[in-house]
Amino acid sequence: MKGGSTIAVAGSGAARPETGCKAPRLCFVGPMIGRNPGYVTTQGQRLSDWFSEAGFPVISVSSRLNRYRRLGDIVRTLIAHARAIDVLVLEVYGGSSFVVEDIASLLGRRFGHALVLWLHGGALPGFMARYPRWSRRVLRRGGLVVTPSPYLAREVHGRGLPVRVIPNALDLSEYRFRLRSRLRPRLFWMRTFHPLWNPEMALRVLARVRCEFPEATLVMAGQDKGCLAPTQARAQALGLAGAIRFPGFLDAQAKAREGDAADIYINTNRVDNMPVAVLEAGAMGLPVVSTEVGGMSDVLTHEETGLLVPDNDDGSMAAQIVRLLRNPELGVRLALNARELAKKSSWPAVRPQWESAFQQVMGGAAAR
């Protein structure tokens, strides 16, 4: 699909099949680029599709890959359908996309929409610190701020903004849970090849693990944002080329296949919030070893739902992996607990929280 907006508007408010009540007319605004082959499906895209399937009138925008065309598509859509929107859910990432988020939030307020600002990304706190006046001006337009973890909620707490924590959601039916009674040294890394996700650390971790388990292997999957070629070259230099496979971007089927073949998931990020990839690993029964950055300690509890190590500390991460390989009971406990964590982020568990948020923000908009 190369178009920009997905529109499933049913008049002035459709009746939800399961309740018969009038559903709010929703508009999700953000980078819906996962509608294009080979790109990551965002949470905004998932929620817009799930709510549409549930009988809500939904608009989602925009799937255009070019940022400027995406902005134009968003502006056109919000103007053209201004009277067909009750709740505008705007994904906020900061960085260069904050210009888009500024304009979209301004239009939402001008048209009288109940505005939900949905914060994403471990890098957002740094952006807000660099541009405090700009970020404060935009965030204050929201009738409600939603964050996927307490980490970002703490960052906006005290700014006079109503904040709700609603976890990122996933469809558990897409993942086969396999309990591994004994772990093999088959490591899985699945993020974007970008400096923030620190792919080079995964190579150093593998090299250390192979000192204890020479048969250890690593699958590194994801989109290239400039670091794939340097990572491959570094793997060659470290003598790891035969132990690493780079399958590229994984669609849902490939993700399930690679996850099922692996035994341990490693997360090497330099910044993070509430990564869906970690929840997906838990859903598949993969024990997780992650750097303790950003909101990771809000997502994973050390020794209970995962193992946490200091930022960029390949020695500590390798040691925890070796510990898992030599302690089957620990791996089983982490996997079972992580599966329960993933269930809390299942769509049936998360959907009522969003519906409550819609009612809250619509009530606030009506009171203004």
Please name which of 218, 209, 187 lies closest in space to residue 287, comparing C-alpha atoms. 187
pLDDT band, residue 308 (cuts 50/70/90): very high
Q: Is the pLDDT of residue 259 over 90?
A: yes
What are the two backbone dihedrals, phi and then psi, of residue 57, each rounded to the nearest 5 degrees? -70, 125
pLDDT band, residue 273 (cuts 50/70/90): confident
Region 5-169+347-367: CATH code: 3.40.50.2000
Tokens coding 221: 């999957």
Q: ω into residue 5 within 30 of 0, thus cis?
A: no
- For residue 154, the tally of other CB atoms under 10 A from its CB is 15
Kindly state the DSSP code that residue 22 receives in the 8-state scheme.
B
Q: What's the pLDDT tens digit per position in 46-86?
A: 999 999 999 999 999 999 999 899 999 999 999 999 999 99
Residue 87 has a pLDDT of 98
Looking at residues 217-227, what average pLDDT do you find? 96
Tokens coding 134: 């700009």
- Angle of the 228-237 helix axis to the 199-212 helix axis, nearest 10: 30
Mean pLDDT over each residue of the chain, to the nearest integer: 92
Residue pair 14/86 in contact (Cβ under 8 Å)? The answer is no
Give dist(CA 337, CA 271) in Å, integer.
Answer: 24
pLDDT band, residue 15 (cuts 50/70/90): very low
Q: What's the pLDDT tens digit per position in 241-251?
A: 999 999 999 99
Q: Is the pLDDT of residue 2 over 70?
A: no
Per domain, the residue ranges of the chain are 5-169+347-367, 173-344
Region 173-344: CATH code: 3.40.50.2000
Q: How does strand 244-248 pair with strand 163-165?
A: unpaired
What are the two backbone dihedrals, phi and then psi, of residue 299, each rounded to the nearest 5 degrees? -85, -50
Q: Is the pLDDT of residue 11 over 50?
A: no
Tokens coding 228: 């794939």
pLDDT band, residue 158 (cuts 50/70/90): low
Q: Do domains 5-169+347-367 and 173-344 have the same CATH topology?
A: yes
